[in-house]
Amino acid sequence: MTTRVGFVGLGTMGVGMARNLAKAGFPLTVATRTAGKAETFAHEIGGGVRVAGSAEEVARASDVVVSCLPDAPEVEEVHLGERGTIRGAASGTVVVDCSTIAAEAARGIGKRLADAGFAFIDAPVSGGQKGAAEGTLTFFVGGDVLALEKASPVLAAMGKRITHLGPTGAGQLGKATNQIVVAGTLVAVSEAMVFATKAGLPLPDLHAALMGGAASSWMLDVLGQKMIARDFKPAFAVKHQQKDLAIVLATARANGVPLPGVALAHQLLSSLEAHGRGEDGTQALLTVYEELAAAAQRR
């Protein structure tokens, strides 16, 4: 691989994505805002990965810079800050942001990078930690088609589906749409698991049956199994889902679209946050329904 790739952000999703880039043979330079994470990653890969002290250094060593960060302020800092990508990138560099942020924020960041001579693609992902580790992510892409052409081999090393949806910001709107479906399905799977438990059904057998019929979905498959195992470790934390749903609801209000299902999911997840469980995986929503069922039985 001759395209030099930089990666900033080695969190729950980013570490798997960067590992697949290294596996694909791209010359890779990494940086992270948490001290020591980049060094640990490079050591685990076992050579061939360069560690940089800032996004500026990453950009100097890269043709394509990929970021995967918590929210818009971090994306702005990494790409537009004093030691950001914008300070070290050469003309023609493509910046690919895989974070989930508001479409308006993506447009603003993209414009400032474009004014400086760099292409920007917003490419948020779906597929969770499992998809990041296995290289099967879905990318919702907004931005210039020629820039996407240059970045496509990089994205293909991390995912299986790359869909261009329009100009900058369109990728974020696609991801917001995805999160509407995710929120509704999370609520449905949580309700179903509690219903089946109270009815005395054997959950592993029921889960297999449901996956063979019309109820089958990624959420039921992956999170349903975690609920049955009572595994609430975060593959995708409640606090991150809440951030995404806040973006969805704000965008919906701006466009005059009522989303009562998303609002319900947002409020139910707020209950987990109120109990200090924002770091739990979203499958912990099951326990909110268990508490509601227990309260109903006490009446």
Whether residue 286 contacts residue 194, with contact meaning beta carbons closer than 8 Å, is answered with yes
Question: Which strand (E) or helix (H) includes residue 241?
Answer: helix 238-254
How far apart CA 245 and CA 239 sit, in angstroms, is: 10
Q: What is the DSSP letter of 28?
A: E
Please state the φ and ψ torsions of residue 7, each to the nearest 5 degrees.
Answer: -135, 125
Contacts of 61 (CB under 8 A, 6+ apart): 4, 6, 29, 50, 52
Contacts of 44 (CB under 8 A, 6+ apart): none
175 is catalytic: yes
Catalytic residue among 130, 175, 198, 239: 175
Tally of residues, the chain: 299
Contacts of 115 (CB under 8 A, 6+ apart): none
- Which has the closest alpha carbon to 90: 67, 56, 121? 56
| CA distances for 219 relative to 50, 68, 135, 171, angstroms | 36, 22, 18, 21
- Which has the closest alpha carbon to 288: 298, 211, 270, 156? 270
HSE-CB for 252 with a 13 A CA cutoff: 17
List the catalytic residues.
175
